[in-house]
Amino acid sequence: MYFLGIGIILLILWYAEIAPVAGWAWYVVFSPFALAVVWWWWADMTGYSKRKAVKRENAKKKARIEKSREAMGIPKRKR
C-alpha cells in the first residue's frame, strides 16, 4: 500500500511538473506501481495476506468474546 501511495504522489508531482520529479524519466515515476504489483503478487502467493486476515479476525473474535463475558459478569480466564 505504501508503494501505491508513493506512486500516486510521484505521479501528481510529475504531472504538475514540480521539480525535481518533473525531470525524471517516466519509468522512474511509474516504478512504485510495478513494485506494488510485485508486492501483492508475492503476498498472495506466499499466503501472507490470508494469514494477516485470519489474525485480524481472531483478534476481533477474542475481543467480542471478552466483551460479552464482561457484560455477563464472568471474570477473565487465567492461563
pLDDT of residue 41: 94
Q: Domain of residue 9: give its range.
A: 2-72
Calculate what percentage of the chain has a pLDDT beyond 90.
76
Task: Give 47-65 pLDDT, tens digit per residue.
Answer: 998 899 999 999 999 999 9
Does 78 reside within a domain? Answer: no
Q: How far apart are the first and last CA of the chain?
A: 37
As for how many domains the chain has, the answer is 1
The residue written with cell numbers 504489483 in the block is: 37
> What pLDDT was estimated at residue 58?
97
* Span 9-26, average pLDDT: 93
The widest CA-to-CA distance across the chain, in whole angstroms, is 65
**pLDDT-derived band of residue 78, with 50, 70 and 90 as boundaries?**
confident
Domain contains 36: yes
Helix (H) / strand (E) containing 23 = none
Residue 40 within any structural domain of the chain: yes
| Structural domain contains residue 77 | no
Query: Does residue 79 lie in a domain region?
Result: no
29 within 8 A of 11, measured Cβ to Cβ: yes
Q: Which helix (H) or strand (E) holds 7?
A: helix 2-15
